């Protein structure tokens, strides 16, 4: 038993444990997104950042609890993941926001049209709350930014958009 325990500890020590996974969505978190953005801004040509903020998550949390809010975020993230291509990188930013780092050869308007095809679709999530079933509509505000230096100005633009989507009564 002692040898097995030592062996397990060696294996666990050699594994890189990724603690930056969001519990609700399973996506890499903000620090991973930050690293990916910093790397991408080194050669930004043809790269875009899509930011999407799930609407009314704070209200769902307040009314039905955080576990229901997490299920709403999970459905939202799955929907976005399905709309993006396999090479795109999706991250949980903070609060009810997701960011996707995408690379496209097309111009901004064409990329915006591509994202709009799935991002503007309103979803419905059915959840069991106590003894009743509740249908929760899921929608988002989103924007797309061409990746461009300087990094600080780009990050301020991203933060300004996400902050503008937060309801004032929950700030």
Query: How does pLDDT run across 14-24, given as a tens digit for each residue?
Result: 444 455 799 99
pLDDT, tens digit (0-9, with 9 covering 90-100), for 92-143: 999 999 999 999 999 999 999 999 999 999 899 999 888 899 999 999 999 9
User: Given this model, what pLDDT does residue 158 score?
Assistant: 92
Q: What residues are paired with 141 via a beta bridge? A: 53
Our CA angle for 108, 112, 115, nearest 5°, is: 140
Q: Are 158 and 99 in contact (CB under 8 A)?
A: yes
- How many Å apart are CA 104 and CA 86, to the nearest integer? 13
Q: Which two tokens stand for residue 132?
A: 């009743």
pTM of structure: 0.82
């Amino acid at each position: 038993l002692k040898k097995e325990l030592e062996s397990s500890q060696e294996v666990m020590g050699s594994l890189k444990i990724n603690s930056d996974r969001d519990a609700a969505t399973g996506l890499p978190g903000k620090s991973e997104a930050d690293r990916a953005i910093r790397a991408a801004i080194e050669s930004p040509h043809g790269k875009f950042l899509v930011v999407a903020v799930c609407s009314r998550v704070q209200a769902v949390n307040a009314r039905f609890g955080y576990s229901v809010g997490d299920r709403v975020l999970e459905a939202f993230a799955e929907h976005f993941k399905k709309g993006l291509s396999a090479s795109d990188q999706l991250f949980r930013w903070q609060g009810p926001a997701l960011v996707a780092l995408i690379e496209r050869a097309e111009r901004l308007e064409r990329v915006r049209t591509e994202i709009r095809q799935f991002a503007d679709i309103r979803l419905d999530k059915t959840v069991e709350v106590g003894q009743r079933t509740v249908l929760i509509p899921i929608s988002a505000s989103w924007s797309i930014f061409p990746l461009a230096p300087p990094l600080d100005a780009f990050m301020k633009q991203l933060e300004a958009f996400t902050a503008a989507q937060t309801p004032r009564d929950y700030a």
